[in-house]
Structure formats: structure tokens, C-alpha cells
Structure 1
């Protein structure tokens, strides 16, 4: 079956390099600023680049416990990051994997445009509802806005 794909776009007053460093390269920031959502991110194998396997453990605000994901691409010069969730209690039966590609681009005002393309690969005739997609998009936006708020409150961080 063809993957279910969806995209989102968010803007930020934070420049792409700074936002990429904080949101993508630092695995300790989200657990620090959103411990109720993400308890920890641990590298299980690899050096952080493509092929790396990471384990994210979720906090009590999340209905799921953990997710193991593989870094598919990490382009620090062009601010592109893609990964595949390969194992998780969030993958309901019939879902093979979930992929995300995140790209930060400079906006005309000196900030960023964050573009996300997501795909859900299913087995058989599993259906994903619009509500489930909307929920995933809202959770991602919430994490993005939390990182943005942290960077605005800490202007010397991640420069």
C-alpha cells in the first residue's frame, strides 16, 4: 500500500542554524524543557549521523512509552534531518514505520521556515484518521514552539 503522506510548515523568528542546533542536534534540550513529554533521548548505536539508532522515552503526558528511530539523513549545512520510527508502542498494529523529513530554511525576515514531510507506511488496509494526523501535527508544533520559546528566553544559547 502507498504511504499516507502529509506536510506542515511553521515559521519562527529564530535563524535556521540556531533552531537546527537546538531542536535537532541537541538530544538533551527537549527532555530539559518538556520532561512531561520526553524523558530522555539515548543513542543506542552510531555517532549521531545517518544510520544512528536512538531511543526516546516519553514522559507521563504522552500516552506512549517509547520510540526507537533511525537517523536517515543529517545534513548540518542545509539544515535537513530525516528519521524513521522503526519500533514503538505508538506504531499501532498494521503500521510498518513512520518517517519524517524536517528542513529549516531562512525566511526573508531573518527567521526560519520549518517544513516537515511525514509518511506513514501501513500493512494491509490499515486506516489512519485525519484526527490522528492532526494530533501528530499538533504535538510536533507544540515541541517546536517550546524550543522556540526557550531560544527566545535564552538569546545566547545555541549561537
Structure 2
């Protein structure tokens, strides 16, 4: 729940973002118990692959270059506003949640852009504030690669990596909102682009 990734608050229920019809999504979850400076933690990751019926270039423009513009426009019930502070790698995306997101008033998600490679449609950010950060995880990153599969289609390969606070791994209940939310916002952008074929053409 952006980039393109949105990390929702601890125990946040799954948001009814536009995920219809059912998507052929493949997912993989891995985790590893490790020790750093004598403290236990879990280093984990999970991946999602989702097909889209728009080109990688158009999806990149909408979901990666202008999520701060499109997300509040396409999903005003969930995002009251958004902003990008700075440009390129190092810029900060801030998303403010609306009441329908069922989060405490003033909730936001702030992410720092770590990788922004339009040539390979590769994007990566790290959580700075909000979501599970400081509650259940000490670090969280989101990475997406849009792989062209045709002139007007692509596959989004999404990977999340995290390090927990303590030795308890994230549960499916904690992972699911973020996984589904990240797909939901991409699907909302896809729907907008299909309805407006001249946008980012």
C-alpha cells in the first residue's frame, strides 16, 4: 500500500481494493532465523507475480513515476492525499490514508526510493515510517520489476524483504494486507490505463 508498495499497519485487515476478477497470482514465502549482535530476528521475504494487460512502460509511468498523483485520484476512499519529496533515487513518497482504510486518524506510509531504473523497469523502496516498521519489523523493502510479455502486456514481479523485531516471523494475517494492497493499487492503475488508452501512450 509506493510506491508502489504500501505497508499497512499491524493487524490491518485486508482492504477491498480492486482485485476482481480473481488474479492468477503466484507467491513464494521464505524466512530464516538469524542472529545479529546476540539478538534474535527473522529475516524473511515473499514474492508475487501478477500479469497485466498494459505495457510495462505505461504501468511504470503510472504506478512508479506518478503514484502520488494517481493513487488519491483513483482510490480517494483509501488515500486522502500523497506527495513526493525530492526527485529520483533518494526521493520520499508519502501516502496519507483516508477514513475508509480503517486506520487511526493521521496514519501515513513513508517510503524512500532506493532504485529507479526505467531501462529495466526496476523499482525498489525502503520503509521510513508507518506500517509494521518499529512495531513488528526493523526494516522492510519492496522491489518490483515489470517484465514485458507483449506489446500491451507485462508481468509484475514483486518482492518484499523484511527483518523482524524479535524471533517471531510475520504471520499470514500480517503479510496478506500488504501483498494484496500492493497488487490492488497496480490493478487500479491498470484499469485506469485500459479505460484511457491515450494516457502515457
CA RMSD for the aligned pairs?
Answer: 1.7
Structure 1 residue 8, shift from structure 2 partner: 0.1
190, 197, 201: which one pairs with 1:148? 190
Structure 2 residue aligned with 1:61, among 94, 100, 109?
Answer: 100
* Aligned residues between the structures: 157
Instruction: Work out whether residues 55 and 150 of structure 2, in 8 Å CA contact, stay in contact via their aligned partners in 1.
Output: no
Shift of 1:82: 0.4
SS state at 1:127 partner? coil
The structure that has the greater radius of gyration is: 2
Question: Looking at both structures, which has the greater relative contact order when contacts are Cα pairs under 8 Å and sequence separation is at least 6?
Answer: 2
Scaled by the length of structure 1, the TM-score of the pair is 0.90
Structure 2: gaps spanning 5 or more residues = 1-40
Structure 2 match to 1:32 = 73
Q: Deviation above 2 Å: which 4+ runs of structure 1?
A: 89-92
Task: Return the alpha-carbon distance in structure 2 between the equivalents of residues 148 and 42 of structure 1.
Answer: 21
Tell which deviates more after alignment, 143-152 or 101-110.
Answer: 101-110
